[in-house]
Amino acid sequence: GTGHAGSRSRAGASGDLAKKKTFPALYHLFDQGFIQSGEVHIFGYARSNLSDDGLRERIRGYLKGAPEEDLSEFLQLIKYVSGSYDNGDGFGKLNKAISEYEASSKSESYRRLFYLALPPSVYPSVCKMIRTYCMNPSSHPGWTRVIVEKPFGKDLDSAEELSAQLGELFEEHQLYRIDHYLGKELVQNLLVLRFANRLFLPLWNRDNIDNIQIVFREDFGTEGRGGYFDQYGIIRDIIQNHLLQVFCLVAMEKPVSLKPEHIRDEKVKVLQSVNPINIEEVVLGQYDGYKDDPTVPDDSNTPTFASVVLRVHNERWEGVPFILKAGKALNSRKAEVRVQFKDVPGDIFKCKKQGRNEFVIRLQPSEAMYVKLTVKKPGLEMATEQSELDLSYGMRYQNVKIPEAYERLILDTIRGDQQHFVRRDELKAAWQIFTPLLHDIDDGKLKAVPYQPGSRGPKEADELSARVGYVQTHGY
């Protein structure tokens, strides 16, 4: 469906998300022995009329380069059931197929995981169908879990309505709201960095940090997804979920323990400390050419770029701006967190102009973290320059394969670990921050300024960052 996926007509097991992410993730789990034949079976469900082999051949096409022997073993785990998203026939067939498999398997416990790679408009009906036709029969030990993909609503009210609808069908512990940024290696590392390093503990506050930027850039536009994207825009597509989750991990207090509920409690608290966004601290952009997509209306004001300032009202962060910025069709593909420290008081080296200390965590591509330091320029003179303490994963962990986000999150779901999934109250708090702004944008009170594809985005965004305190140094 949506997420990474293409147009709405190609959803479900034959859709784009399934192709780019879900099946490759399942294959990698299989390849590493986390999914084993005899224990796991995969049922694809979608509207298209396909045979088992038809689906298998498609999946083969998504997994180019996989060794043939593994691949054919993996493909044997897959079956296909076709049906619509809102009537019992298809889901009855699905249940029958699952039950037959379960009856033939040696396992005592029946575990059913449903992955909804679908447009959210069909979530309530699909969940109702699953609830009515496909639940793990209560006569058996086991469980039923459901993974859902964003967007979870369009604003606070619609999100609450969706939550209430799903909440009537499933318990919170059965619902896995996926935000794939939480499956990224360096996002997961934030918790460790923050709370396992004495070096950062005393510095991580308003006394030492001037501002924090959380930035997402993509060097391609909405290609083929204009119809979906235009209804949501960059704030709902990236900022309100992916960047806000990163924000939580950067800004939250130390959880009582690593229990998923303790971590999610802290996220909710920090989100509740953020005021709704002040429209004076927002820049919206739309790249030239976005409206050439025939599925995008000619008068669209939907932002493909946005920069917004979050203000956190608590003891740790009062006065420190968090700049969340995301854009499509920019000059590079990169996601990073930049923690900028304050100037050194008493600048005896007269080096202030060279820049401040910055701690940069690059989430992708080429995972890395580095600290920008002022050092003596090697040589006879007492001159200074900016350099880095650099931990690049490609160098330090040369032989380690970093798992894909979806791989990790599907495994978490199988294991029943909800730490890296969004809880209902967290979702609500997230929408509270953005809803007034989103309504102003929808009402046309804020206009997106045009920018050139392949550029840094609107210059107004750099001006906004500078206005709230960010000092740009070399090598942005």
CB of 234 to ligand BG6, least distance (A): 8
Site for ligand BG6 in 201-220 (CB under 6 A): 218
What is the x/- site pattern for ligand BG6, positions 142-181, by CB under 6 A? --------------------------------------x-
User: Please, what is the minimum distance in Å from the beta carbon of residue 335 to ligand BG6?
Assistant: 6
Nearer to ligand BG6, 94 or 118 (CB): 118
Task: Classify residue 31 as exposed, middle or buried by CB count within 10 Å of its CB (0-12, 13-18, 19+).
Answer: middle
CB neighbours of 142 closer than 8 A, spacing ≥ 6? 109, 110, 111, 112, 136
293 scored as a contact of ligand BG6 (CB under 6 A) = no
Q: Does 242 qualify as catalytic in the annotation?
A: yes
Q: Which is nearer to ligand BG6, 237 or 412 (CB)?
A: 237
336 contacts 325 by C-beta, under 8 angstroms: no
Q: Considering the complex, what minimum distance in angstroms separates the CB of residue 228 from ligand BG6?
A: 8
Of 55 and 369, nearer to ligand BG6 (C-beta) is 369
4 binds ligand BG6 (CB under 6 A): yes
Judged by beta carbon, residue 233 or residue 321, the one nearer ligand BG6 is 233
Q: Which of 417, 412, 435 is nearest to 264 (CA)?
A: 417
Q: Is 311 strand, coil or helix?
A: strand
Residue 291: closest CA among 121, 153, 461, 453: 453
Structure-block tokens of residue 138: 């209560």
Closest CA to 403 of 18, 14, 81, 27: 27
- Examine residue 3 and tell whether it contacts ligand BG6 (CB under 6 A): yes
Residues 244, 249, 255, 259, Cα dihedral to 10°:
80
Give the whole-angstrom CA distance, residue 181 versus residue 42: 25
Nearer to ligand BG6, 3 or 303 (CB): 3
Binding mask 20-49 for ligand BG6 (x = CB under 6 A): ------------------------------
* Residue 412 sits in the site that holds ligand BG6 (CB under 6 A): no
In the chain the first and final C-alpha atoms are separated, in Å, by: 35
As a whole number of angstroms, the distance between CA 228 and CA 226 comes to 5
Among 102, 210, 237, 367, binds ligand BG6 (CB under 6 A): 237
Work out how close the CB of 239 gets to ligand BG6 at its nearest, in angstroms, rounded to a whole number.
11
Which residue is closest to ligand BG6 by CB? Answer: 237
The catalytic residue among 28, 180, 242, 420 is: 242
Distance separating alpha carbons of residues 310 and 454, to the nearest angstrom: 27
**Residues from 326 through 345 that contact ligand BG6 (CB under 6 A):** 335
Tell me the two tokens of residue 237: 């597509």
Residue 260 half-sphere exposure, CB side, CA atoms within 13 Å? 16
- Please give the residues from 80 up to 99 whose contact with ligand BG6 meets the rule CB under 6 A: none
Residues lying near ligand BG6 in the complex (CB under 6 A): 3-4, 180, 218, 237, 335
Q: Which residues are identified as catalytic?
A: 242
